[in-house]
């Protein structure tokens, strides 16, 4: 088992409510319930931390300091309280204090949130059941519509619940409410720590399971549009690696890929056994050989697959990374950008201010979701502009 310190380092920083800033009471309230900012017309404005930009609220309760401020609000005379806050703000505050977690914006606009359902698929290839969830469009049960499908791959030491536990669902609901994207299924498989590849020793053939069993099963169980043009894949960190790997090797299955903070690493030779290189080796050994088989790593690496874009000529690729990524994955992202440019392969790449993990996604996941939506039969779908509201370039 990975040492606890390594696991904590790989998982990344805690949820937003656990972070600190110079003015924690303001930061906590803003980050836990910034949706209320738009209804508190006469309440003192809430400011984001300098290192954070505005993003959809995440599920959870307000921190202690944030709740102190809320208690101070409720201590005002009733008349002043209602004048200051208004009904909509009280709804948002109720949500903060533990009401059912869904997008307050969507609720105020009368738009239902997406609905998460979870199950498992029995795999003959893996010899076990694999858990997964699907985030269904709000009208899934009331229509016979078929939908595009996005597969989202979680990061190292995470699970198929990371999407809803860390705020992915809230981000999706917020974009839907604003009309920036239209409905599609989001499929959330449990990838364990496999890197979504077939293990070097042949014991864990996760890639074969994913392509040969999992995708066909989802198409059978849910009303998808079973064409590669209407099927995308995305992921973060290890999941970003897996998304690029699977999309580049199986362009007949996926028409688009969006990777954020992807674990793109080009090992030096010989590989140091200490520091970040030693950490990379330890987490990769499960799937790439123990000791690490460098040739097998290189063979599966998206940085290697990108050298042959003729094998995925129609694949639409988007990737971004934090310029301050604590694992140095920004270096791998820039290298991938350089390789694709050398081959004249069109793609979208952005290096953004930020670090790694779900704090990064809280600000920037909207770009990946918007990209994938635009890839689903472009020009034939609803949704306009871009996530920031400006005209799409």
Dist. CA 150–CA 257, nearest whole Å? 9
Contact 198, 117 (CB under 8 A): no
Closest by CA to 114, choosing from 127, 123, 101, is 101
Contact 288, 300 (CB under 8 A): yes
Q: Is the peptide bond before 19 cis (omega within 30 degrees of 0)?
A: no
Dist. CA 151–CA 128, nearest whole Å? 21
Contact 357, 11 (CB under 8 A): yes
For the chain, the distance separating the N- and C-terminal CA atoms, rounded to the nearest angstrom, is: 47
Residue written as tokens 């995925």? 312
Dist. CA 144–CA 267, nearest whole Å? 49
- Chain segment 242-292, per-residue pLDDT in tens: 999 999 999 999 999 999 999 999 998 888 888 888 989 999 999 999 999
Contact 160, 190 (CB under 8 A): yes
Q: Give the pLDDT of residue 12.
A: 35
Closest by CA to 60, choosing from 214, 157, 200, 170, is 170
Q: Give the pLDDT of residue 37.
A: 31
Q: Give the pLDDT of residue 273.
A: 84
Q: Is the peptide bond before 291 cis (omega within 30 degrees of 0)?
A: yes
Dist. CA 91–CA 100, nearest whole Å? 11
> Residue 98, Cβ neighbours under 10 Å: how many?
10
Instruction: Count each helix (H run) and each strand (E run) in the chain, helices first.
Output: 15, 8
Question: Per residue in 113-127, is it b (16+ CB within 10 Å) or e — as a string?
Answer: bbeeeeeebebebbe
CA torsion, ordered 22, 329, 133, 168, to nearest 10 deg: 30
pTM of this structure = 0.72
Contact 320, 253 (CB under 8 A): no
Give the distance from CA 185 to its chain's centroid. 14
Dihedrals phi, psi of 164, to nearest 5 degrees:
-80, -30
Residue written as tokens 């948002």? 92
Contact 364, 353 (CB under 8 A): no
Q: Give the pLDDT of residue 67.
A: 32
pLDDT tens string, the chain, 393 residues long: the values are 444 444 434 333 333 322 333 333 333 222 233 333 323 233 233 223 333 333 333 333 233 323 333 333 333 334 333 333 343 443 333 333 333 333 444 444 557 899 999 999 999 999 999 999 999 999 999 999 999 999 999 999 899 999 999 999 999 999 999 999 999 999 999 999 999 999 999 999 999 999 999 999 999 999 999 999 999 999 999 999 999 999 999 999 999 999 999 999 999 888 888 888 898 999 999 999 999 999 999 999 999 999 999 999 999 999 999 999 999 999 999 999 999 999 999 999 999 999 999 999 999 999 999 999 999 966 444 444 467 754 333
* Dihedral sign, Cα of residue 326, residue 373, residue 151, residue 387: positive
Q: Give the pLDDT of residue 274.
A: 85
Dist. CA 375–CA 373, nearest whole Å? 5
What are the structural domains of the chain? 4-101 (no CATH), 115-375 (3.40.50.1820)
């Amino acid at each position: 088992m990975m040492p606890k310190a390594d696991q904590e380092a790989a998982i990344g920083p805690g949820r937003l409510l656990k972070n600190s800033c110079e003015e924690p009471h303001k930061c906590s309230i803003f980050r836990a319930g910034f949706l209320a900012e738009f209804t508190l017309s006469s309440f003192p404005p809430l400011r984001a931390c300098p290192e954070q930009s505005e993003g959809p609220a995440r599920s959870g309760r307000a921190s202690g300091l944030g709740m102190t401020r809320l208690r101070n609000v409720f201590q005002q005379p009733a008349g002043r309280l209602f004048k200051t806050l208004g009904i909509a703000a009280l709804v948002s505050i109720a949500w903060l204090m533990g009401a059912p977690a869904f997008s307050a914006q969507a609720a105020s606009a009368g738009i239902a949130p997406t609905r998460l359902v979870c199950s498992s698929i029995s795999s003959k290839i893996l010899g076990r059941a694999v858990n997964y969830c699907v985030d269904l469009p709000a009208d899934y049960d009331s229509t016979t519509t078929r939908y595009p499908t996005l597969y989202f791959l979680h990061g190292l030491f995470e699970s198929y619940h990371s999407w809803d536990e860390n705020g992915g669902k809230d981000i999706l609901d917020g974009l839907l409410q604003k009309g920036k994207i239209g409905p599609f299924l989001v499929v959330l498989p449990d990838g364990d720590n496999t890197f979504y590849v077939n293990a070097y020793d042949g014991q864990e053939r996760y890639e074969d399971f994913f392509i040969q069993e999992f995708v066909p099963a989802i198409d059978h169980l849910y009303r998808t549009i079973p064409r590669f043009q209407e099927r995308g894949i995305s992921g973060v960190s290890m999941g970003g690696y897996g998304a690029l790997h699977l999309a580049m090797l199986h362009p007949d299955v996926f028409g688009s890929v969006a990777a954020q903070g992807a674990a793109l690493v080009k090992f030096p030779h010989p590989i140091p056994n200490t520091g970040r290189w030693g950490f990379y080796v330890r987490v990769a050994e499960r799937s790439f050989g123990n000791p690490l088989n460098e040739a097998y790593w290189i063979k599966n690496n998206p940085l290697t697959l990108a050298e042959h874009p003729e094998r995925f000529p129609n694949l639409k690729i988007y990737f971004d990374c934090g310029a301050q990524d604590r694992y140095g994955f920004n270096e791998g992202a820039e290298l991938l950008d350089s390789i694709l440019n050398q081959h004249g392969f069109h793609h979208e790449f952005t290096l953004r201010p930020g670090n790694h993990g779900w704090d990064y996604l809280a600000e920037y996941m909207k770009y990946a979701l918007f990209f994938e939506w635009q890839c689903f039969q472009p020009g034939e779908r609803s949704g306009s502009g871009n996530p920031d509201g400006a005209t799409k370039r």
